[in-house]
Amino acid sequence: MAILALAAILLQFTTLVFAQVSLPNPSYLPPNASWGAVPSSGGSPNPQWTVLLGNSLYFYEAQRSGRLPSTKRVSWRNDSALNDGRDSDLDLSGGYYDAGTVYPPDYLKCTFPLSFTLMSACWGALDYGKGYDMTSQTPYLDDMLRWGLDWLIKAHPSNDTLYVQVADPDYDNAYWGGDQNIPSNRPSYQVNDTNPGTDVAAAASAAFAACSILYSNSTSYNATNSSIPFSRASLQNGTYSATLLSHARSLWTFANEHNDTLYQDSVPAAEDTYPSSDYKDDLAFAALWMAWATNDVVLYNQTQRMWSEYELGGASGGLDGVFNWDGKTPGIPVLATQIGSVMEEQWQGDYDLSAWQKLAESYLDGVVDGDGRARTTDGGLLYYDGDSDEASLNPALNAAMLMTRYAPMASSPQKKWSYQSYANSQLDYVLGDNPMKVPYIVGMNPNSPQNPHSALASGGDDISHLDTVPAQEAYVLYGAVVGGPDAHDKFWDIRSDWPETEVALDYTAPLLTLAAAHAMNDTSDPFYTTLQAGAYAKPKYHPCDAVFDCTPSLSRTGKIVMGVCLGVTGLVIAGLTAYWLYLNLGNRFPTYDGVNRA
Ligand SMILES: *[C@@H]1O[C@H](CO)[C@@H](O)[C@H](O)[C@H]1NC(C)=O
Ligand SMILES: *[C@@H]1O[C@H](CO)[C@@H](O)[C@H](O)[C@H]1NC(C)=O
Ligand SMILES: *[C@@H]1O[C@H](CO)[C@@H](O)[C@H](O)[C@H]1NC(C)=O
Ligand SMILES: *[C@@H]1O[C@H](CO)[C@@H](O)[C@H](O)[C@H]1NC(C)=O
Ligand SMILES: *[C@@H]1O[C@H](CO)[C@@H](O)[C@H](O)[C@H]1NC(C)=O
Ligand SMILES: *[C@@H]1O[C@H](CO)[C@@H](O)[C@H](O)[C@H]1NC(C)=O
Ligand SMILES: *[C@@H]1O[C@H](CO)[C@@H](O)[C@H](O)[C@H]1NC(C)=O
Ligand SMILES: *[C@@H]1O[C@H](CO)[C@@H](O)[C@H](O)[C@H]1NC(C)=O
Ligand SMILES: *[C@@H]1O[C@H](CO)[C@@H](O)[C@H](O)[C@H]1NC(C)=O
Ligand SMILES: *[C@@H]1O[C@H](CO)[C@@H](O)[C@H](O)[C@H]1NC(C)=O
Ligand SMILES: *[C@@H]1O[C@H](CO)[C@@H](O)[C@H](O)[C@H]1NC(C)=O
């Protein structure tokens, strides 16, 4: 009897846990890194791309916060931060830890980049969902999305309240260690009617809207034009979609009621984590997602007006920047072209699709041609001085993601080819076709980074000896994209060097989409299967970035030689400058009355 009762309870519990696409049995687990050095026999789906997609999803499971289900695959993770939200009389446990951690200080949960990550994952699963289906990863995609979306639902307890951060980035008391001793002082921060945040509300609304389209069981999203990337992963659930859409609507209204605020002005704790540089791009981007999710051609049309009124393509550099958690602008014309094309028949094409197409192409051409701020390193990585100085791979992967998606919609075969090949070159770089011969994803190949900046995976708890305690990371953080190499394509693989080795939710996000696209359509292996153990050699000296100072460690003789050279050069420069001043000064400079006496 007792056993039957227990069985009944267990059964109930299991139904609760599996209230979604059921997980495969046996589970997908990442093979060890040596597997990535063995070329596969190809086929569709290609087994190597399958593993890359599977591992990318697995990374998110390793980042989970809260009470973990009995079905967890990451055996070394434990329940953690179960009291989140208590200070607000709310259950804010669950969700994902944002990154790896001493800097940005971790075990934080941050709504702004989380929303971007979820939006990005759902966008990719709308386009290349077949890639998830073909590789049997759809149940894990469902699981990954729900773990984030269910938390985001809890973080939005009423129409005008959105929790935007849990835990304070206290640099003085930064914590480095496992998931069982996370400091318990974890305040939760909200935006609301009196202290709003347009950007974060719009971003969360975009995530909910994008994911509601993915989950929707309505046939109105079935694409009819096969040249547009659109094949949703098979996880439709009308009830869940409706829940997501109601949160999207509510946050969209909230964002529009307070349509000109930055959330860090309301929540100063966000100033040190993910401050937003503008709210306009977030509003316009969310408008597109809302238009699609609610089948509203008028709103879609209005986005064009928002684009001009907000001068998003203007001199402020909106269309010359990176696409990431903070900058949504480059995604707007790409998404607008896609929606306009997918909905063309239903919406009767009563809008200017070609205007969006022109904008999208002017942006993507700028990236390919290296106009404006974009350039490529000698090794071939897309690089933006400033943005790429920390986590250099992120701008490149996001650009590759936009280009891969846009290529089939390009206005000419030449452009289509140009975008697709540029996107492939960036992805190949990330997968090991780079001067270091490092596939910058943990656990994919013997040359993958061994020292991701991850407190969870490192197994260490000595904040002053990150690199040596322990010597080898305790756990392999499969599927984590690390920050990336420096502007000279160099990568040192040092655990404390967060600009190069940090991991984060948004770093791996574009890889989900790219891996799904390739799993769907690429029978040949990812680049790294050609790389054998030992291909990577640590460069000399050390990095020159926010962690390491830039003086090369020179020998004593080197220093003396350098000192002498500097001294001589200095004298020469001083002499020439004096001579130039003697010749030019007084002639060139306007005097107090503004008359140039030259
Ligand atoms: C659909 O999603 C809802 C909400 O998460 C869940 O309760 C239900 O079991 C799901 N239905 C199916 C058939 O998976
Ligand atoms: C990796 O897995 C292969 C089998 O897939 C096994 O032969 C090999 O010993 C494993 N290597 C390590 C280091 O665990
Ligand atoms: C989870 O708990 C186990 C057992 O106490 C421990 O060995 C492991 O390191 C913990 N994991 C993390 C990420 O701290
Ligand atoms: C509204 O948000 C601000 C900023 O987070 C917070 O200080 C204030 O207490 C909130 N108001 C209410 C009624 O919770
Ligand atoms: C349209 O989409 C729905 C929901 O995803 C699916 O059940 C249906 O089979 C699709 N119809 C066609 C014609 O593709
Ligand atoms: C979509 O899901 C809802 C809620 O589960 C259901 O009422 C409706 O009949 C479904 N529609 C279709 C077309 O399957
Ligand atoms: C919350 O917003 C939704 C739609 O945005 C609306 O239908 C509902 O009435 C609102 N609830 C309250 C309590 O204002
Ligand atoms: C922002 O809100 C103000 C006041 O409600 C309104 O006049 C303005 O049109 C709104 N701007 C946009 C772009 O929606
Ligand atoms: C979209 O905007 C254009 C120009 O503003 C207008 O001609 C057209 O009728 C609008 N279409 C819809 C569906 O609102
Ligand atoms: C499909 O979309 C492409 C790219 O936007 C477009 O060139 C083509 O005319 C569309 N075909 C149909 C039948 O609508
Ligand atoms: C990609 O793969 C899908 C599914 O196998 C197929 O329908 C589609 O035509 C392929 N697209 C390209 C560009 O190869």
Give the CATH number for residue 9: 1.50.10.10
User: Which ligand is nearest the CA of 521, by number?
Assistant: 11
Residue nearest (by alpha carbon) to ligand 3 atom 8: 76
Atom of ligand 2 nearest to the CA of 35: 5
User: Which ligand is nearest the CA of 338, by number?
Assistant: 10
Residue nearest (by alpha carbon) to ligand 7 atom 14: 159
Q: At residue 263, does pLDDT exceed 60?
A: yes
3 state SS of 436: coil
Longest dimension (CA), the chain: 106
> What pLDDT score does 574 carry?
55
Q: Which residues contact 186 (CB under 8 A, 6 or more apart)?
A: 81, 83, 84, 87, 107, 166, 167, 168
Q: At residue 334, does pLDDT exceed 50?
A: yes
In a domain, 597, yes or no: no
Count CA atoms closer than 13 A to 450's CA, side-chain side: 14
Q: At residue 392, does pLDDT exceed 50?
A: yes
In a domain, 85, yes or no: yes
Query: Do 378 and 504 sit in the same domain of this protein?
Result: yes
The string of pLDDT tens digits covering residues 162-210 is: 999 999 887 777 899 999 999 999 999 999 999 999 999 999 999 999 9
Atom of ligand 11 nearest to the CA of 44: 5
Q: What is the DSSP string of 520-560?
A: HH--SPPGGGGPPTT---PPSS---SSSS-S-----HHHHH
**Nearest in space to 127 (alpha carbons), one of 235, 227, 229, 49:** 229
Final residue belonging to a domain, choices 515, 530, 545: 530
Q: How many helices (H) and strands (E) does the chain have?
A: 18, 5
Residue nearest (by alpha carbon) to ligand 2 atom 1: 32
Greater pLDDT, 10 or 261:
261
Q: At residue 317, does pLDDT exceed 70?
A: no
Indicate the range of 122-136, 292-306, 560-574 predicted with least confidence.
560-574
Indicate if ligand 9 lies below 6 Å from the C-beta of 295.
no
> What pLDDT score does 585 carry?
39
Catalytic entry in 179, 433, 500, 502:
502
Indicate if ligand 9 lies below 6 Å from the C-beta of 297.
yes
d(CA 297, CA 353): 12
Q: How confident is the model at residue 104 (pLDDT cuts 50, 70, 90)?
A: low
Q: How confident is the model at residue 581 (pLDDT cuts 50, 70, 90)?
A: very low
Indicate if ligand 9 lies below 6 Å from the C-beta of 349.
no
In a domain, 540, yes or no: no
Indicate if ligand 11 lies below 6 Å from the C-beta of 294.
no
Percent of all residues in the chain with a pLDDT value above 70, rounded to a whole number: 87
**Cα 56–Cα 460–Cα 79 angle in degrees, nearest 5:** 60
Atom of ligand 10 nearest to the CA of 357: 5
Q: Do the Cβ atoms of 105 and 174 come closer than 8 Å? A: yes
**Mean pLDDT of all residues in 325-333:** 97
Catalytic entry in 453, 486, 506, 518:
453
> What pLDDT score does 583 carry?
42
Q: For residue 498, what are the domain limits?
A: 2-530
Residue nearest (by alpha carbon) to ligand 11 atom 14: 521
- 172 has catalytic annotation: no
> What pLDDT score does 573 carry?
56
Q: How far does residue 229's CA lie from ligand 11's centre (Å)?
A: 9
Q: Which residues line ligand 6 (CB under 6 A)?
A: 217, 238-239
Q: At residue 553, does pLDDT exceed 70?
A: no
442 CB burial (10 A radius; 0-12, 13-18, 19+): buried
**Mean pLDDT of all residues in 249-262:** 98
Greater pLDDT, 497 or 171:
497
Q: How far does residue 32's CA lie from ligand 2's centre (Å)?
A: 6
Residue nearest (by alpha carbon) to ligand 3 atom 3: 76
Q: What is the DSSP string of 31-80?
A: PPGGGGGS-----SS-HHHHHHHHHHHHHHHHTB-BPPPTT-S-TT---B
Q: At residue 99, does pLDDT exceed 70?
A: yes
- 502 has catalytic annotation: yes
**Mean pLDDT of all residues in 520-528:** 97
| 481 secondary structure, DSSP code | B
Catalytic entry in 486, 493, 497, 525:
493
The string of pLDDT tens digits covering residues 115-159 is: 999 999 999 999 999 999 999 999 999 999 999 999 999 999 999
Q: At residue 3, does pLDDT exceed 60?
A: no
In a domain, 595, yes or no: no
> What pLDDT score does 566 carry?
52
Q: Which residues line ligand 4 (CB under 6 A)?
A: 189-190, 192, 194-195, 266-267
Greater pLDDT, 497 or 105:
497
3 state SS of 86: helix
> What pLDDT score does 224 carry?
67
Indicate if ligand 9 lies below 6 Å from the C-beta of 299.
no
Query: Do 574 and 506 sit in the same domain of this protein?
Result: no
Query: Do 522 and 574 sit in the same domain of this protein?
Result: no
- 156 has catalytic annotation: no
In a domain, 596, yes or no: no
* Structural domains in the chain (count): 2
Query: Do 525 and 562 sit in the same domain of this protein?
Result: no
Q: How far does residue 298's CA lie from ligand 9's centre (Å)?
A: 7
The string of pLDDT tens digits covering residues 412-466 is: 999 999 999 999 999 999 999 999 999 999 999 999 999 999 999 999 999 999 9
Q: At residue 12, does pLDDT exceed 70?
A: no
Query: Do 215 and 132 sit in the same domain of this protein?
Result: yes
Q: How far does residue 41's CA lie from ligand 4's centre (Å)?
A: 58
**Mean pLDDT of all residues in 479-483:** 98
d(CA 245, CA 252): 10
**Mean pLDDT of all residues in 303-307:** 96
In a domain, 30, yes or no: yes
Query: Do 323 and 190 sit in the same domain of this protein?
Result: yes
**Cα 165–Cα 272–Cα 501 angle in degrees, nearest 5:** 95
Q: Which residues line ligand 5 (CB under 6 A)?
A: 217, 219, 222, 236
Greater pLDDT, 370 or 412:
412
Query: Do 121 and 25 sit in the same domain of this protein?
Result: yes
Query: Do 187 and 315 sit in the same domain of this protein?
Result: yes
Q: At residue 499, does pLDDT exceed 70?
A: yes
Rounded to two decimals, what is the model's pTM? 0.90
Write out the H or E segment, with its range, that includes residue 243. Answer: helix 238-257
Write out the H or E segment, with its range, that includes residue 109. Answer: strand 109-110
Q: How confident is the model at residue 67 (pLDDT cuts 50, 70, 90)?
A: very high
Q: At residue 563, does pLDDT exceed 90?
A: no
The rounded mean pLDDT for the chain is 89
- 493 has catalytic annotation: yes
In a domain, 544, yes or no: no
Q: Which residue has the tokens 């086929």?
A: 43
Query: Do 211 and 342 sit in the same domain of this protein?
Result: yes
In a domain, 299, yes or no: yes
Indicate if ligand 2 lies below 6 Å from the C-beta of 32.
yes
Query: Do 127 and 46 sit in the same domain of this protein?
Result: yes
Residue nearest (by alpha carbon) to ligand 11 atom 10: 521
**Mean pLDDT of all residues in 256-269:** 97
Query: Do 17 and 141 sit in the same domain of this protein?
Result: yes
Indicate if ligand 10 lies below 6 Å from the C-beta of 125.
no
Catalytic entry in 61, 98, 106, 127:
106
Q: At residue 588, does pLDDT exceed 70?
A: no
- Report residue 124: phi and psi, to 5°: -65, -30
> What pLDDT score does 17 carry?
40
Query: Do 255 and 170 sit in the same domain of this protein?
Result: yes
Q: At residue 2, does pLDDT exceed 50?
A: no
